[in-house]
Amino acid sequence: MQNRKLSAWVDEVADQTRPDRVVFCDGSEAENRTLIQGMLSDGTLLALDGERYPNCYLHRSDPTDVARTEHLTFICTRDKEDAGPTNNWMSPDEASQRVGRLFDGAMKGRTMFVVPYLMGPVGSPSAKVGIEITDSPYVVASMRIMTRMGRVALDALGSSEDFCRGLHSLGDLSPERRFVCHFPAERLIWSVGSGYGGNALLGKKCFALRIASTMARDEGWFAEHMLILGLEDPGGRVTYVCAAFPSACGKTNLAMLVPPASQKGWKVWTVGDDIAWLRIGRDGRLWAINPEAGFFGVAPGTSSRTNPNALATLARNSIFTNVALTPEGTPWWEGFDGPVPPVLTDWRGRRWTPDSKEPAAHPNSRFTAPARQCPSISTEFDAAAGVPISAIVFGGRRARLAPLVCEARGWAHGVYLGATMASETTAAATGKVGVVRRDPMAMRPFCGYNMADYFRHWIELGENRAAFPKIFHVNWFRQSEAGALLWPGFGENLRVLRWIVARVRGEAKGHDTPVGIMPTDGELDTSGLGVNDEAMRELFAIDRDAWLEEARDREAFLESFGSRMPEALLRQNRDLMARIRA
């Protein structure tokens, strides 16, 4: 091996974990076939029907290991304040004692895989190299889908010492000995006791967000939990948009949106469905790359109605985790096309019928699929410079309160909208479902440092930059008092994107409201939609008392960060309260 730092670290890890053998992964097809065959032999994977799902496999994780373990995820900094109140903190010394020792002999009887991977397009100045050491062949196969993995990453690294180190071991899969630790100063990740994607595929949330967010702060860019899409109008002009939503709130559906028949001539191009790295270009605009090469999507609810492009993407060369299995050997989950089968094998491997009390597929079951298979993948997916972003959209699940769409008055107000956004929790994380919580920029579980400093970074980086994107907030999930969704969502969300693009281009006037700029009557195309005038009024209604309560709750949230909270955001909240009272 040519890289001295990498070689020394591999030797150090091997000495501690004591594997039976060490394999340096090259990312080749032959290597992948050997890995897959081994997992089929030992039951780690089950082959799906080869005709309907060629080269696709099912993996079942331990029943205690089915989601991100936010309560066991730590930021390890010397000063607790540097981690901030939204992160779990552990000192590096404590982590060394509590977590580091769990790797002692952890890989006995196993193979230690050294997985080099590149986050970002080959040749991109924004791309970064990571090395994950793992004892899970499932992780290796998944990382091959999710990243540019193998020799291409080593070629990009060369003799440089600039790479993120990630050490992962399944350990004994005990929840009592399950930790995910991040050391921002060392660009280091430790994960032990879990085989679940978000905890074990260390290039994803761990590197691309938690570690990368600290790198972005230090180097003057953004690492964000955002999709990237290109919206092409009938004249062929493409406008690129980034959007941030908490997990399982429709990011993948929006990123792969198929325009309905009523929106003739419009197209949506997928650049990324989950993570965006944004840098300031020479032209003063923000340019975004998708650091990933695959999709790690939530399966339940994915259908030909909600996301036909996702279904087409996952139909080959994919790994499914914790979905149900039909007798014909095909994957199934709640919300899948067609009638519910009379008999299934559920995600735990048990017989399931429609009378069973539990879901057949786990609510957080996933598919891991190559992005290049997506029918809507953008021609700019591998562009080294990325794509220029004209709009940033924040949103979440709010049954009441938040309007369908509103635009921020300016950059600082937009940062405020993102910093105070809230959403009802989903099955993507452990804990209760349906609880409203603040999830700033959809980064609450993923920001690698104090979020007050993160907000300051956002404000300062975008200050006085006329070419920066306009910022918007959307809510596809607003309900009537009877509990019915007021907006049809899915492909019809294109109508809202069209208004956003019109605002970016100066082609829509909008009108000012206490919470932001909303569409003027007639600007939002609702022709043929079947949404009546009363529903449209309710989608944009502002309940004064509810908004005052919301503003007070936002104030408490912002003040929970203490003296680090930028005054600019506290001022934005005071201004909101004054506008509502007026």
Domain extents in the chain: 4-43+72-220, 224-293+379-581, 295-370
Neighbours of 306 (CB within 10 A): 18
What is residue 428's predicted lDDT score, i.e. its pLDDT? Answer: 53
Mean pLDDT of the 186-206 span? 97
Active site residues: 249
What is residue 426's predicted lDDT score, i.e. its pLDDT? Answer: 59
Q: 220: helix, coil or strand? A: coil
| 230 annotated as a binding-site residue | no
Whether 434 shows a pLDDT value over 80: the answer reads no
The region of weakest confidence among 8-22, 77-91, 197-211, 415-429 is 415-429
Alpha carbon 317 to chain centroid, angstroms: 21
Indicate the CATH number for domain 224-293+379-581.
Answer: 3.90.228.20
Mean pLDDT of the 562-574 span? 98
What is residue 249's predicted lDDT score, i.e. its pLDDT? Answer: 79
Mean pLDDT of the 183-212 span? 97
CATH architecture assignment, domain 295-370: Beta Complex (2.170)
| 272 annotated as a binding-site residue | no
Whether 354 shows a pLDDT value over 80: the answer reads yes
Distance CA 539, CA 541 (A): 6
Confidence of residue 276 (pLDDT cuts 50, 70, 90): very high
Average pLDDT score, the chain = 96
Indicate the CATH number for domain 4-43+72-220.
Answer: 3.40.449.10
What is residue 72's predicted lDDT score, i.e. its pLDDT? Answer: 95
What is residue 523's predicted lDDT score, i.e. its pLDDT? Answer: 96
What is residue 435's predicted lDDT score, i.e. its pLDDT? Answer: 76
Quote the percentage of the chain above a pLDDT of 90: 94
| 197 annotated as a binding-site residue | yes
Cα angle, residue 373 at apex, residues 213 and 129 outer, rounded to 5°: 30
Q: Are 343 and 327 in contact (CB under 8 A)?
A: yes
Whether 271 shows a pLDDT value over 60: the answer reads yes
Confidence of residue 246 (pLDDT cuts 50, 70, 90): confident
| 396 annotated as a binding-site residue | no
**Terminus-to-terminus CA distance in the chain, angstroms?**
68
- CATH topology agreement for domains 4-43+72-220 and 295-370: no
| 193 annotated as a binding-site residue | no
Q: Are 84 and 450 in contact (CB under 8 A)?
A: yes
231's tokens: 């919206």
Q: Are 273 and 306 in contact (CB under 8 A)?
A: no
pLDDT tens-digit readout, 485-538? 999 999 999 999 999 999 999 999 999 999 999 999 999 999 999 999 999 999
Whether 274 shows a pLDDT value over 90: the answer reads yes
72's tokens: 């066991």
What's phi and psi for 264, nearest 5 deg?
-65, 135
Confidence of residue 110 (pLDDT cuts 50, 70, 90): very high
